[in-house]
Amino acid sequence: MKHLDLAGGTTVITGAANGMGAEIARRLASRGVSLALLDHDATALAALAAELSPATVTTHVVDLRDDDAVFAAADDIAAGHPRITALITCAGSSMLGDLDQLTMEEMRWLTDVNLWGTVSITKALLPALRAAPAAHITHLASVYALAAPAGRIPYALGKFAVRGFSEALRHELEGSTVSVGAVYPAGVRTGIILHGRYAAAIDPAVAARAAAAQAAMYHTDPADAAARIIRATERRAARTMVGREARLIDVLVRLAPSAYWKAMRRPLRAAIDTRTPVA
Q: pLDDT (tens digit, 9 = 90+) per residue, 225-270?
A: 999 999 999 999 999 999 989 999 999 999 999 999 999 999 999 9
Count Cα atoms within 13 angstroms, Cβ side, for 36: 26
pLDDT tier, 102 (very low <50, low <70, confident <90, very high otherwise): very high
**pLDDT for res 6:** 97
Q: What is the mean pLDDT of residues 67-83?
A: 97
Q: Which residues are catalytic?
A: 155
Please list, in sequence order, all residues whose beta carbon lies within 8 angstroms of the beta carbon of residue 161, skipping any fewer than 6 positions away: 111, 115
Provide the residue count of the chain.
279
**pLDDT for res 257:** 97
Sign (positive/negative) of CA torsion 104, 106, 107, 112? positive
pLDDT tier, 32 (very low <50, low <70, confident <90, very high otherwise): very high
Note the helical H segments in the chain: 19-30, 42-52, 67-80, 104-111, 117-131, 153-172, 204-215, 222-234, 244-255, 261-268
Q: What is the mean pLDDT of the chain?
A: 95
Sign (positive/negative) of CA torsion 96, 185, 52, 119? negative
Q: How far is CA 137 from CA 94, 102, 239, in A?
A: 22, 32, 12
The DSSP line for 198-223 is E-TTS-HHHHHHHHHHHHTT--B-HH
Phi, psi for 184 (deg, rounded to 5): -120, 85
* Spatial distance between the Cα atoms of 108 and 110, rounded to a whole number of angstroms: 5
DSSP state for residue 114 in the 8-state scheme: I
**pLDDT for res 226:** 95
**pLDDT for res 234:** 98
Answer yes or no: are the C-beta atoms of 156 and 145 closer than 8 Å. Answer: yes
Phi, psi for 4 (deg, rounded to 5): -90, 125
Query: pTM for this one?
Result: 0.96
